[in-house]
Structure 1
Amino acid sequence: MIHAEVTLYPLKTQNASRVINNSIETLDQESVEYEVGSMATHVHGNEDSVWNSLKSLFDQAQTSGGEVSMVVTITNSAKH
């Protein structure tokens, strides 16, 4: 199991919240557990599922808002 902390930064948009929320909704289609925080979203699951969910987040953000930066911290530690 791996854990990822991910933050999306939509650029050049007046609708950053919409872009972020649309991206987070893609996690419902993935085989991961996630918690949305005020500054980051924490994603937990098997390695392939977490990597796929990160790609889904980024792809949706691009589709919704164009330019986006995504910062991710990943660990395989049981204590995260």
Structure 2
Amino acid sequence: MVGAQISIYPLREKTLTDTLNIFWEELGKRGIKYEINSFATILWAEEDELFKFLNDVYKMMSSKNIVMVITLSNACPKVP
């Protein structure tokens, strides 16, 4: 199990939520456990599932101007 903290910063967008909703909807489709806080989305998944998700969602957002900051941990995967 891997824990990840992901912050996405849409650039040059009128609203933040359109871009963030793409990310959150994809999380929901895959059934990945996650929590949203003021600064980031925290999620927990098996390693292969997590890296596939990150690769896929990055490709989905590649047409937008974004900054994506990702912190990974195999030492503190507290699943809610």
Number of the residue aligned with 1:12: 12
Structure 1 stretches lacking a partner, 5+ long:
none
Q: How many residues align structurally?
A: 78
User: Matched residues, percent identical?
Assistant: 26
Task: Name the SS of the counterpart of 1:9 in structure 2.
Answer: strand
Q: Are the aligned partners of 2:2 and 2:46 in contact in 1 as well (CA < 8 Å)?
A: yes
Distance 1:60 1:37 in 2: 23
Distance 1:72 1:26 in 2: 17
TM-score, structure 2 as length reference: 0.81
Structure 2 stretches lacking a partner, 5+ long:
none
Number of the residue aligned with 2:2: 2
Q: Are the aligned partners of 1:31 and 1:45 in contact in 2 as well (CA < 8 Å)?
A: no
Deviation at 1:14, TM superposition (A): 0.8
Bigger Cα displacement from structure 2, 29-38 vs 2-11: 29-38
Moved over 6 A (4+): none
Distance 1:36 1:60, change over 3 A: farther
TM-score, structure 1 as length reference: 0.81
Number of the residue aligned with 1:71: 69
- CA-based RMSD of the aligned residues comes to 1.8
| 1:21 counterpart = 2:21 | yes
